[in-house]
Amino acid sequence: MILSVSRRTDIPALYSDWFMNRIREGYVMTRNPMNYHAVSKISLTPDVVDCIVFWSKNPKPLFKFLDEISKEYTFYFQFTLNAYEKDLEPHLPTLEERISTFKALSEKYGKERVIWRYDPVMLSDKYTSQWHINSFRGIIDQLSEYTTSCVFSFVDVYDKVKNNLKNEKVIPFTKASMDELARGFSQIASHHSIILKTCAEELDLSKFGIEHSRCIDPNLISQLAKCDISIKKDKNQRNECGCAESIDIGQYNTCMHGCKYCYANYSQTSVRKCYEAHFYTSPLLIGDIENDDKIKERKVKSLKENQISLFDAK
């Protein structure tokens, strides 16, 4: 099993104590988003977890647990590091602090375990193509010795986030503007010998030397775990997504970073309500088990040296 922690919220930044409790107790519980009282119990023991993929914009709060985690678990980070200002990312540490965190993580656990995400790329009157190229260059100048690759994507302005962005004068992408950014990023990344990839983009940018990413990457996992792991593509993700199957233990509407382009938060009122209902001793990320809940143990197993679908084993 590959454990995703998490596409839906920043568990390393905001819920690291809770996550470590779940690791120590050896299981986690998640609610079915379509059926509130249907609860899955998922084993987190080292014999079934082949790799943990952490997604974060500020994993520093997890640092105090990583030595303990590393004794029995393989892991790597998808570390999002943009240069947007507080108008778009209001509740993050400064860029300098986050770069320092990135370097510390890479120095201790290896640069192959820290994937840099410059994600998403959004154009506006303020955040122009040239602004992004300059910002990308400024960050890569500091990170080139601390990672091997960078993943980026062009923002998708979903209906649920349009209201958050109504004052940002967002400029829709054209093929020409995407090509301009891809060319600029590619030239900079090539100079630093950084592999550049896109996340869940249908557009073919191979003419710029840019690959399609598999953010949950079985090849990287096999390399880190030092054994063969063969996993099917995740059919629950978009067609353009190349990720392998994983189990995500996060929950939407729980991230307090407040990034205005984020697809995972529908309303700040819901986010605050969820955050207030969190306590780190619960098996659930938000709230606790209730009398009407129906708990079913999800069947999971190690994928080492097997071609197996997680979702065939429910």
**What are the pLDDT digits (tens) for 228-267?**
887 888 888 888 888 999 999 999 999 999 999 999 998 8
Per the CB < 8 A criterion, the answer to whether 248 and 227 are in contact is no
* In the predicted structure, residue 105 carries a pLDDT above the cut 90: yes
pLDDT above 60 (res 311):
no
pLDDT at residue 313 is higher than 60: no
31 contacts 277 by C-beta, under 8 angstroms: no
Domain boundaries, position 94: 2-313
If you average pLDDT over residues 69-78, what whole number do you get?
A: 98
pLDDT band of residue 90 (cuts 50, 70, 90) is very high
- Give pLDDT, residue 147: 98
pLDDT at position 312 over 80: no
- Structural domain tally of the chain? 1
- pLDDT confidence band for 218 (50 / 70 / 90): very high
Region 155-164 average pLDDT: 86
Half-sphere exposure of 7 (CA within 13 A, CB side): 14
Residue 82's nearest CA partner among 113, 56, 105 is 56
Amino acid of residue 275: Y
Cα torsion angle, 264, 251, 249, 61, sign: positive
* Predicted confidence (pLDDT) at residue 308 exceeds the cutoff of 80: no
Q: Copy the structure tokens of residue 64.
A: 């105090």
Q: In this predicted structure, what is the pLDDT of residue 309?
A: 44
pTM comes to: 0.94
Which element (helix H / strand E) includes 275?
helix 268-276
Between 313 and 105, the more confident residue is 105
How far, in Å, CA of 210 to CA of 22, rounded?
38
Would the pLDDT of 116 be above 70? Answer: yes
Whole-number percent of the chain with pLDDT over 70: 97
Strands 35-43 and 27-32: antiparallel
CA distance 49 to 255: 25
Whether the Cβ atoms of residue 193 and residue 150 lie closer than 8 Å to each other: no
Q: Answer whether residue 314 shows pLDDT above 60.
A: no
Q: Which two tokens stand for residue 314?
A: 């429910």
Q: pLDDT tens across 18-57, in order?
A: 999 999 999 999 999 899 999 999 999 999 999 999 999 9
How confident is the prediction for the chain on average, in pLDDT? 94
